Amino acid sequence: MTKLLILSSDTGEGHNSAASALELAASNAGLEVSIRKPLEESGSVNRSMGKLYNALLARRPQWMNRYFWLIDHFRPNERDIFYTKAREFIGPFLDSENPDVLLSVHPMLNHFVQRFIKEEGRPIPCFTFLTDPFPPFWHGWASPYVDRYFVPTDEALQALTAMGVPAWRIEKVPMPVRPQFLPSTSSEIGNTRESLNLHGMSTILINGGARGGGPLWNVYNTVRTAAPESNVLVVCGHNSVLRKRIDDLMDPKTQTFGFLADIHRYVAAADLVLTKPGALSTYEALACGTPVLLLGIRGLMPQESGLFKAALHYEFGYAASRLKEVKEVILRGPQEWNRLRGSIAQFYLSSSGRELIERIQPLNARA
């Protein structure tokens, strides 16, 4: 049985969501699959850097442009001084998994492990799936040690070639999302709304992600003021302070939630989803056929700015960089939001990742 090792990281939940989707698709195709996180597993310094990234993401997203510049300028994932130290970890790490195929879904995991494999002459083909669908994105994605790339858009393919990756090493496949993210039937939506006691003109979901970061309090108040008769669902993730602050308002048409394992039910039942322009949170909403309003209130991370602009270009959603723009979209109402559902279907049809797995499986099975 072919053993697939997927490399991911907790720096951004989108990578883990993509890894989970691909894990299930590969398992269904008969592969043995393991997801590992070498960034977090390789030592306290790397774990601290990951925690710093997540702290900036949740509390100071406006600083991410500087972080992006710093990493892209110094490119620590390409430095021999760091690679020499990493070799002590990589050998035992690979031996513990003994994979037939390696697949990375993270921009910082395309160099050291793959370089070790090439230098040691191990017969393990190395693949990478770009979870950033639109440029600009991290230069760390581009690596001379990756055998083949998979990208979700033409724009990503062109940007990767501009970074020096030969076009013949790149294939386009749909963005993989977890299989529960699908359009719900009218009865399923009705059951979800009934279980949540949702009554009224519309349902608006504000998705703060696992960490509940960003200016969610201001966004919530803007939505609540612009749509006083709508149901507003706020996913606060692990941000208990924000959740209590909203709950203390005791608004009868507002409900808050922590981390939701079944968030797909809420996304599918909503008329509009407000979320930061993370690739997987956006594509999961689109897989449900639900229009999105992408938020860039305190500025955008560079790797999110392309998707932010694409929402308007491909008309699968809205984009707001100011609270005034959030208000304008909310005031349009559900009839206008629903007009985007046709554009969503043209832009993206839900995929489990089967297409990617089919491309790597036949080439790499052991005899």
Domains in the chain, ordered, with CATH? 3-176+351-364 (3.40.50.2000), 186-347 (3.40.50.2000)
Q: What is the pLDDT of residue 213?
A: 77
**pLDDT higher for 188 or 256?**
256
pLDDT tens across 239-284, in order? 999 999 999 999 999 999 998 989 999 999 999 999 999 999 999 9
pLDDT computed for residue 364 by the predictor: 44
Lowest-pLDDT range, 127-131, 267-271, 360-364?
A: 360-364
Query: For the chain, what is the mean pLDDT?
Result: 89
pLDDT of residue 211: 74
Check pLDDT > 80 for residue 290. yes
Residue 62 vs residues 68, 146, 220, 306: alpha-carbon distances, Å: 11, 32, 19, 16
- Taking residues 33-54, what's their average pLDDT? 74
Average pLDDT over residues 99-128: 96
| Maximum Cα–Cα distance across the chain | 64
pLDDT, position 147:
96
Beta strands in 65-125 (DSSP E): 101-104
Poorest-confidence range of 29-33, 80-84, 224-228, 342-346?
Answer: 80-84
Confidence of residue 187 (pLDDT cuts 50, 70, 90): confident
Phi/psi of residue 322, each to 5°?
-140, 155
Report the C-alpha gap between 353 and 21 in whole angstroms: 7
For the chain, give the percent of residues with pLDDT over 90: 69
Asked if the model's pLDDT at residue 6 lies above 90, the reply is yes
- pTM as predicted: 0.89
Q: Work out the angle between the directed axes of helices 279-287 and 13-28 (0-180°, nearest 10).
A: 50
